[in-house]
Amino acid sequence: MTDAGVFGALIGQEDVVAVLRAAARVDAPTMTHSWLFTGPPGSGRSVAARAFAAALQCPDGGCGVCHECHTALTGAHADVEIVSPAGLSYGVGETRELVTRAALAPTRGRWQVTIVEDADRFTEQALNALLKSIEEPPPRAVWLLCAPSAEDLLPTIRSRCRLVTLRIPGVDELADHLVGEGIDRALAAFAARAAQSHVGRARRLARDSDAQRRRREVLEMPAQVATVGGCFTAAANLVDAARGEAASVVQSLDEAETSALKESLGDIGGRGRARPRGVAGALSDLEKRQRSRATRTQRDALDRALLDLAAFYRDVLVVQIGADVDLVNVDLATTVQRLAQASSPEATLRRIEAVLACREAVDINVAPLLAVEAMALALHRG
Ligand SMILES: [Zn+2]
């Protein structure tokens, strides 16, 4: 952990960090009890919320090394609950339970913090249940809601939250940060650009050769769809690559969380000691949360793969119309050139539309392989 403590992982968010740092030192009754973290995917909404939760519990405002910080960041802190929807949305029952828990006095921390991921996914009834706790917050409750944008929440909720807006860092800014993390300059520049500034993905591309291989597999699709048979192979490959990417994302998170939770519950495991009461329950809660995250991560990874593909065709279009902008996929410039010459800008636009239609289909829960196969055939037709 750097001098920046728990906020060190936030890139290019100086304004936000200053606000959160100051707020973490405030005590009741001046505390703001409801916060709304917004920003595009990859801007680090959830990372920022966790860092703030740690700063709120840390006696030192988020040192990044103490037990409070460590457990809050990994989701194992007794007074920091991180929730994500078990299905597609938060139901009224689970929201009522959440509101009840948020009203409890903290067991060891200063605040009872609830981080709500995908806060744009409450049913209307559930939102009403949440609203009461946000309108008249219990004295120690702090809500950290995360959503892509403030418009995704009802005005009644939005108007009662303090807004934290995260931005996507620039490609160069992100590359510099990766260099600071010990990544080679050329690799950092490639990863920041290929990931289109998505921080987590850039880091994986820079550090994990499997992630690089999976990206290349996805970007082989434009060549593979030249034949109808190739469409089906390409679709299966793309879905597999997304699955592999998701697995690598959740695996390290899951392991860190599980071991932090066991440690914080005093369960060192495997030494013949009886597990303290409550450990099994806490572990099964964590597993449930991890399973739902795995599902969401798979969907996100597929979406990411489709964005990579859209960016590839965008590069093709850039060449075709002779636009004076940088390619996203510099490493694939030859392939991009070849396709640009072999097709028309109109066909490229239709292909980009096919990729975007596939994203929408996956978003409304069409089976991924079916959606990707339909897209591959549309790419084939051109
Ligand atoms: Zn600390």
Q: Determine the distance separating the centroid of ligand 1 and the alpha carbon of 57, expressed in angstroms.
A: 8
Q: What is the DSSP string of 34-45?
A: EEEEE--TTS-H
Q: Determine the distance separating the centroid of ligand 1 and the alpha carbon of 150, expressed in angstroms.
A: 30
Per-position b or e across 267-300, b if 16+ CB within 10 A of its CB = beeeeeeeeeeebeebbeebeebbebbbebbbbb
The verdict on residue 193 lying in a domain is yes
Q: Determine the distance separating the centroid of ligand 1 and the alpha carbon of 67, expressed in angstroms.
A: 7
311 shares a domain with 191: no
The verdict on residue 31 lying in a domain is yes
Report pLDDT for 270.
47
135 shares a domain with 108: yes
Report pLDDT for 51.
96
What is the arrangement of strands in the sheet containing 162-165, beginning at the earlier edge strand? 80-83, 112-116, 141-147, 34-38, 162-165
What is residue 325's three-state secondary structure?
coil
Q: Determine the distance separating the centroid of ligand 1 and the alpha carbon of 173, expressed in angstroms.
A: 27
131 shares a domain with 65: yes
The verdict on residue 112 lying in a domain is yes
156 shares a domain with 69: yes
181 shares a domain with 279: no
Q: Determine the distance separating the centroid of ligand 1 and the alpha carbon of 273, expressed in angstroms.
A: 29
CA quadruple 73, 45, 84, 55: dihedral, nearest 10: 30
The verdict on residue 212 lying in a domain is no
Enumerate the H helices of the chain as residue ranges: 14-24, 45-57, 67-74, 92-102, 124-135, 155-158, 171-180, 185-194, 199-207, 209-218, 221-224, 228-264, 279-321, 333-342, 345-363, 368-381
What is the arithmetic mean of pLDDT over 171-191?
A: 94
127 shares a domain with 267: no
128 shares a domain with 48: yes
Name the least confident of 211-220, 263-272, 313-322, 342-351: 263-272
The verdict on residue 215 lying in a domain is no
pLDDT tens digit sequence for 327-382: 999 999 999 999 999 999 999 999 999 999 999 999 888 999 999 999 999 999 98
Query: What Rg do the C-alpha atoms of the chain give, in angstroms?
Result: 22
178 shares a domain with 92: no
Cα–Cα distance, 267 to 252 (Å, whole number): 20
Cα–Cα distance, 46 to 117 (Å, whole number): 7
pLDDT tens digit sequence for 104-153: 999 988 899 999 988 998 988 999 999 989 999 999 999 999 998 999 88
The verdict on residue 216 lying in a domain is no
Q: Determine the distance separating the centroid of ligand 1 and the alpha carbon of 58, expressed in angstroms.
A: 4
The verdict on residue 241 lying in a domain is yes
153 shares a domain with 57: yes
289 shares a domain with 377: yes
Q: Give me the domain span that covers residue 109.
A: 5-165
Q: Determine the distance separating the centroid of ligand 1 and the alpha carbon of 367, expressed in angstroms.
A: 44
Domain count, the chain: 3
* Side chain identity at residue 290, one-letter code: Q
Q: What percent of the chain has pLDDT over 90?
A: 65
Residues with CB under 5 A from ligand 1 (ion): 58, 63, 66, 69
141 shares a domain with 15: yes
Residue 162, pLDDT above cutoff 80: yes
Q: Determine the distance separating the centroid of ligand 1 and the alpha carbon of 261, expressed in angstroms.
A: 17
Q: Pick the residue with more confidence: 213 or 254?
A: 213
Q: Determine the distance separating the centroid of ligand 1 and the alpha carbon of 54, expressed in angstroms.
A: 7
Residue that terminates a domain, selected from 206, 234, 258: 206
End-to-end distance of the chain based on CA atoms, in angstroms? 49
pTM for this entry: 0.77
Residue 159, pLDDT above cutoff 60: yes
pLDDT tens digit sequence for 250-294: 887 788 778 877 776 765 444 445 555 566 777 887 787 788 778
229 shares a domain with 90: no
Report pLDDT for 272.
47
The verdict on residue 217 lying in a domain is no
Ramachandran region of residue 39, left (φ > 0), alpha (ψ -120 to 50) or beta?
A: left
